[in-house]
Structure 1
Amino acid sequence: MTGPFSAVPGAVVDDAGLQHVGNPLAEQRRLAAGAALAPRADRAVIAVPGEDRLTWLDSLSSQALTRLDPGVGTELLILDPQGHVEHAASVVDDAETTWLIADRADVEGLYDWLRKMRFRLRVDPRIADDEYAVIGGTAAALERISPAAPAGVPLVWRDPWPSVTPGGHAYAPVDPHPGADRDWAEAIVTRAEEARMADAAARGELELAGLTAVDALRVAAWRPRWTTDVDERALPHELDWLRTAVHLDKGCYRGQETIAKVHNLGHPPRRLVALQLDGSGSVLPEHGAAVRLGDDAVGIVTSAALHYEEGPIALAVVRRTTPVDAPLTVDTADGPVAAAQEVVVPPDAGATANVPRITRLSRRAAAQ
């Protein structure tokens, strides 16, 4: 794959976009500190103009959107009738158009579904990939570029994770949450601005980070993502996604009955865990690698990364009944690797809503 950032010294680019510029671990540190920006070729934009856009999206999705203020970021999920996640998108409105930022692999499916659901409402969604690109970084870092503002409101989405947004609910029992200090935003920029950024980076005037760094910071913050952490069985409860993507008190939408039943009366059948992997080897588990308790496969790895502070880490979805203190292993190309489990979604999530908070100790602190 070629693209505007291919000429940046050290750039490694593949079909997904800019993976790194020579040192993914250093790029993580610079990205988290606000010193670098990350081109998000793995993300794409859907524009939804029209007078009925917010009430329409509200009626279709898990999020309350009818009173969304211009420039305020939120996110939505599109669920099937059984409450499983079908699509996910970040949302920002500029008083004329609602802008959805979605994982590129999900954009066509989300767009096709939205077009089918227009009926006679005044909405006209379009994929805006030819017009716009997505750039990620801290909010302060994004001030160094020029977001698009076709209606006068800069198109910058501030990630609400891991805050509990209005109508949401948190399952993770740790305090502080590992994403508490996460500062992440994504700007929608014109293709001309993207090209200007690429030229500045090639001249050494703008520092970039690749998608490898972006994903490592996400995994460390326990932040779910459609591309990696969602399968055909995924419920928002299993991924602690009620925090930011579901409004439990809004009006009817497809899948709402399951959302309410699982949260108020039952338990999700699976749960997300964070794994601290044995760092003695150099091979990370592949997406879908088996998580085992003894010889029994109890789940799969959804995301894995080498973090600049935590070392090799992963997110996995396991059976709800997997003991929280169980010694787990993960399959890799070099054989099984020991995995220490951290509870993201506890086994009693759902009907038992008030989960006691526990202090989280990082692996580094625990070793001291």
Structure 2
Amino acid sequence: MSAVSRDAIRSAVMTLAEKLRAAREACAVGPVQPRAVLRATGKDAQDYLHRMSTQDLARLRPGESAYATFLSAKGHLVAEGHVLAREDGILLDLDPRAQPDAQVHLERLVIMDEVVFEDLSEALRVVPVLGPEAARRLTGRVPEAPRIAHERRGAPGADVLLPPHEAEALRAELLAEGAVALDEGELEALRILAAVPRFGADMDASRLPMEAGLTRAAISFSKGCYIGQEVVLRATARGHLQRGLVQLALPGGAGPGTKLTAGGQEVGVVTSAADTPEGRLGLGYLRRAHWKPGAVVDAGGQPATVRRVIVEEPDL
């Protein structure tokens, strides 16, 4: 029996709690996934993206990355993801559901700037490597591959971008050395436990980034102007937001699209859900009056309890 087969069997017999613990405390590897990857090149690429984004991208040096959002003129999300500075250009690592809107949005305002966008989505896949041991396990491996360190999968780690066959090979190597295999459902449970929103589920073009709790992670209030800035500043004024994202303890059967009610009135909706070691949990939007841990609303005729408030309203 091969080492990969043995580790696959070991991962298969582990409980969900054991697998998620490995992701937080050791090393786990998710399935190879598609991403929307754009490369911006040209002498104005970094400056242009800095002016289009909510984040301070001007400070990035080659090898450094930042989490950012790109907004419409009305302040709604067009895309969110990591921006990685490279010697050969700037890479944008976005959720596939953000394409082609993200590229259209970025290209339509290029007038005098020297910047060109190239879609690398078909050429690259991501290997999610999670856990505090991720950096050590990746040392010396595929050193030229774009690598983005972050915690937006619910655990510390890195996403490694590689051509499809190389991505599968890297994943197999890590599993053979003892990393724990996670499937899509287990990654989803890890994400929801950590209350991290996902584009296409908990965030879309109808949402402001602040409603989804992205204020501290993705918005710089000290940089210059960007598209949607006026709306962001107005909406982050105390008391302006009316709906926001929360983490919920859900009854069995509740899932994306389940309406949340209180006193017979609709007050929100579930946007994502998963069975976890702590029970069925989900993320969803609620009206402001229910933004407090312990608040109880109705989800399909059964109680759902707010565990954590994700929406952010910083004092400016």
Question: How far apart, CA to CA, are the structure 2 residues paired with 1:104 and 1:23?
Answer: 30
CA contact (8 A) 2:247 2:282 kept: yes
Residue aligning to 2:307:
342
Q: Distance in 1 between matches of 2:236 and 2:315?
A: 8
2:133 counterpart SS class: helix
Q: Which residue pairs with 1:195 in the alignment?
A: 168
Measure, in 1, the Cα distance between the counterparts of 2:310 and 2:179. Answer: 39
1:8-48 deviations in whole A, cap 9, x for unaligned? 968xxxxxxxxx96867243333333332113415332222
Give the drift of 1:277: 2.5
In structure 2, the residue matched to 1:353 is 315
Relative distance call for 1:131 and 1:142 in structure 2 (3 A) is farther
Using a 3 Å threshold, how does the CA distance of structure 1 residues 217 and 195 change in structure 2: closer, same or farther? closer
C-alpha change, 1:35 and 1:288, in structure 2 (3 Å) is same
Aligned to 2:71: 79
Q: Give the SS at the match of 1:239.
A: coil
Choose the corresponding residue for 1:293, options 256, 259, 262: 262
Structure 1's 32 and 343: CA in aligned 2 closer, same or farther, altered over 3 A? closer
**Partner residue, 2:119:** 127
Report SS of the residue matched to 2:159: strand
Equivalent position of 2:35 in the other structure? 43
Larger displacement relative to structure 2 (191-200 or 21-30): 21-30
Q: How far 1:77 moved relative to its partner?
A: 1.0
Q: Aligned in 2, Cα 1:72/1:301: closer, same or farther, shift over 3 Å?
A: same
Q: Which runs of 5+ in 2 are unaligned?
A: none
When structure 1 is superposed on structure 2, of 23-32 and 266-275 the one drifting more is 23-32
Partner of 1:67: 59
1:30 match: 22
Amino acid at match of 1:353: D
Partner SS for 1:32? helix
- Residue 60 of structure 2 aligns with an amino acid whose one-letter code is L
Q: 1:250 aligns with which of 209, 216, 223?
A: 223
**Residue 357 of structure 1: aligned partner:** none
Matched, 1:312 2:312: no
Deviation string for 1:275-294 (max 9, x for gaps)? 1224xx4x3x2212111214
**Separation in 1 of the partners of 2:207 and 2:12?**
34
SS of 2:33's equivalent in the other structure is coil
User: CA separation of 1:142/1:318 partners in 2, compared to 1, >3 Å: closer, same or farther?
Assistant: same
Q: 2:237 maps to which residue? A: 264
Aligned residue in 2 for 1:302: 271
Ranges in structure 1 where 5+ consecutive residues have no aligned partner: 11-19, 163-178, 355-368
Contact 2:250 2:304 in 1 (8 A): yes
- Give the match's secondary structure for 2:87: coil
Per-residue Cα deviation, 1:197-242 (whole angstroms, up to 9, x for no partner):
3655897976421121222111111212212111333112212211
Deviation at 1:301, TM superposition (A): 0.7
Task: Tell me: CA distance 1:160–1:264, structure 2 relative to 1, closer, same or farther (3 Å).
Answer: farther
2:246 to 241, 254, 273: 273
Q: How many residues align?
A: 306
2:214 alignment partner in structure 1? 241
186 and 24 in structure 1: CA distance in 2 versus 1, 3 angstrom threshold: farther
Q: Which residue of 2 aligns with 1:322?
A: 290
The answer to whether the 8 Å contact 2:66/2:82 transfers is: yes
Identity %: 25
Contact 2:65 2:82 in 1 (8 A): yes
Partner secondary structure for residue 28 of structure 2:
coil
Residue identity in the other structure for 1:341: V
Matches of 1:183 and 1:249, distance apart in 2: 27
Q: Matched residues in 2 for 1:275 and 1:190: separation?
A: 38
In the superposition, relative to structure 1, how do residues 184 and 307 fare at CA in structure 2: closer, same or farther (>3 Å)? farther
TM-score normalized with structure 2 length: 0.84
Secondary structure at the aligned position of 2:97 is classed as helix
- 1:157 is aligned to 148
- Which residue is 2:199 aligned to? 226
Structure-2 change in CA distance of 1:321 and 1:189 (3 Å) = same
CA distance in 2, matches of 1:43, 1:337: 37
